[in-house]
Amino acid sequence: MLVAGREVKVTNLEKVFFPKMGLTKGDLVQYYVDVADAVLHHVARRPMQMKRHPGGVEGDFFY
């Protein structure tokens, strides 16, 4: 995947992130790509955090 002129490797696109809706990591990446132009200028230079769920959304998590 090319992001801002740089190659970014995205793995496990078929990993299910939201089982109740059947949405995968690939679906989430595509959503982020689709909304990026409208959203990025609103979140630029703002602190962000990501809550990681390595075993899926219903498993354990860490920051």
DSSP assignment of 1-13 equals -EETTEE-----T
Is residue 63 a part of any domain in this protein? no
Is residue 30 a part of any domain in this protein? yes
Read off the pLDDT band of 10 (50, 70, 90): very high
Is residue 7 a part of any domain in this protein? yes
Structure-token pair, residue 26? 């690939």
Is residue 9 a part of any domain in this protein? yes
Fill in the amino acid letter for 10. V
Q: Please count the structural domains in the chain.
A: 1
Say if pTM beats, i.e. exceeds, 0.75: no
Distance, in Å, from the CA atom of 37 to the CA atom of 13, rounded to the nearest integer, reads 22
Is residue 6 a part of any domain in this protein? yes
| CA contacts within 13 A on the Cβ side of 58 | 5
Is residue 50 a part of any domain in this protein? no
Residues contacting residue 30 through CB under 8 Å, at least 6 positions apart = none
Mean pLDDT, to the nearest integer, of 23-40?
94
Tell me the residue range of the domain where 20 lies: 2-41
Is residue 11 a part of any domain in this protein? yes
